[in-house]
A and B are shown apart, each in its own frame.
Chain A
């Protein structure tokens, strides 16, 4: 939670939040996107820009109405009907997010996809309850690990925080929020036994949630390569392009 609060000190200002761009992209078969600054995890395989690591240097502050107006403009320009904020952790700057979703209710867009790591939702159930009152909002919780050790090794966060995304999932179920779970289960990152433990843990919470798990794979974005190298993983080996042969399983 320390990193979340420190990052908020930099990227939030009242109900304003830092963004670097507004555009649409082909993921989810087309979605308008506000690119935000700031995250509370430090995953070594992360694809986002270096705004994540140096939030002081990037972005401009936007209020929720102005940000949604620009997202809506991007949706109209590219002919898409879904919206999200991406590139950082959307649940930082709570006042901004709730204002943004309020503004979304006034649009004719079909769906807002809220992609989160679940840390802040898991720490505060009232935040999940506040999200549950909005129409046409779907939450995607992205899990990083199936064990506390794996969680700390991949994200840099304390092992105690491992439980928070699972608490978020329980809260989303209890509050009746539309959501699904994703997980970085790429076998080059997560060993098979850990993947199995993660799915079993999800199934204990809810079988349908576990069966609808979206499994993510790691792609060689420039920032991913740089972060891997800084972390001590050779990207060429990881992606099977090194002289040492194909990638091995179970990188931390």
Chain B
């Protein structure tokens, strides 16, 4: 897993990158909350971030949730940064 990504936003971009990677594995038939639950305890992801995402988007399909995060001012920059890193994985990996 390549992670040339900053932790400047308090690790939000790292969390979004992990979400993108998990979505690739899990597909759309699980709610976003299941993706988030799977990430708890797996990495340096602050519980407060996971709690916030679960409260806002937990019952959404994962790709829908990520689209909504892109319109959420508190997550937009993290999604953009993680997207650049994930694309590198996708195209070079």
A residues engaging B (CB < 8 A)? Answer: 26-29, 81-82, 110-111, 113, 138, 140, 178-180, 182, 196, 199-200, 203, 207-208, 210-212, 214-215
B91, A199: Cβ atoms closer than 8 Å: yes
Q: A28-B28, A29-B29, A179-B67 are in contact. Are A81 and B20 (CB under 8 A)?
A: no
Q: How far is the CA of A227 from the CA of B24 in the complex (A)?
A: 28
| B84 on interface, CB distance cutoff 8 Å | yes
B87, A214: Cβ atoms closer than 8 Å: no
Q: How far is the CA of A110 from the CA of B28 in the complex (A)?
A: 17
Q: How far is the CB of B52 from chain A (nearest CB, A)?
A: 18
Which single residue of chain A is at the shortest CB-CB distance from B70?
A208
Q: From B31, B60, B66, B91, give the contact of A212 (CB < 8 A).
A: B66
Q: How far is the CB of A169 from chain B (nearest CB, A)?
A: 12
B20, A214: Cβ atoms closer than 8 Å: no
Which single residue of chain A is at the shortest CB-CB distance from B17?
A211
Interface size bracket, B side:
20 to 34
Interface 1/0 per residue, B17-34 and A, CB below 8 Å: 000100110011111001
Across-interface contacts of B84 in A (CB, < 8 A): 207, 211
| B56 on interface, CB distance cutoff 8 Å | no
Which single residue of chain B is at the shortest CB-CB distance from A25?
B29
9 A-B pairs closest in CB distance: A211-B83, A208-B83, A29-B31, A180-B63, A211-B86, A28-B61, A180-B67, A207-B83, A212-B66
Known pairs A29-B31, A207-B84, A211-B90 / 20 extra A-B pairs, C-beta < 8 Å: A26-B29, A27-B28, A27-B29, A29-B29, A29-B30, A81-B59, A178-B67, A179-B67, A199-B87, A203-B87, A207-B87, A208-B83, A211-B20, A211-B83, A212-B63, A212-B66, A212-B70, A212-B83, A214-B63, A215-B24
**Which positions 49-73 of chain B face chain A at CB distance < 8 Å?**
59-61, 63-64, 66-68, 70-71
A-side binding surface: helix, strand, loop or mixed? Answer: mixed
Which single residue of chain A is at the shortest CB-CB distance from B68?
A178
Q: How far is the CB of B5 from chain A (nearest CB, A)?
A: 12
A210, B83: Cβ atoms closer than 8 Å: yes
Across-interface contacts of A111 in B (CB, < 8 A): 60, 64
Which single residue of chain B is at the shortest CB-CB distance from A82?
B61
Q: How far is the CA of A210 from the CA of B29 in the complex (A)?
A: 20
B28, A212: Cβ atoms closer than 8 Å: no
Q: How far is the CA of A44 from the CA of B31 in the complex (A)?
A: 30
A180, B31: Cβ atoms closer than 8 Å: no
| B36 on interface, CB distance cutoff 8 Å | no
A211, B29: Cβ atoms closer than 8 Å: no
| B79 on interface, CB distance cutoff 8 Å | yes
Of A29, A196, A199, A200, chain B has the most CB atoms within 10 Å of the CB of A29
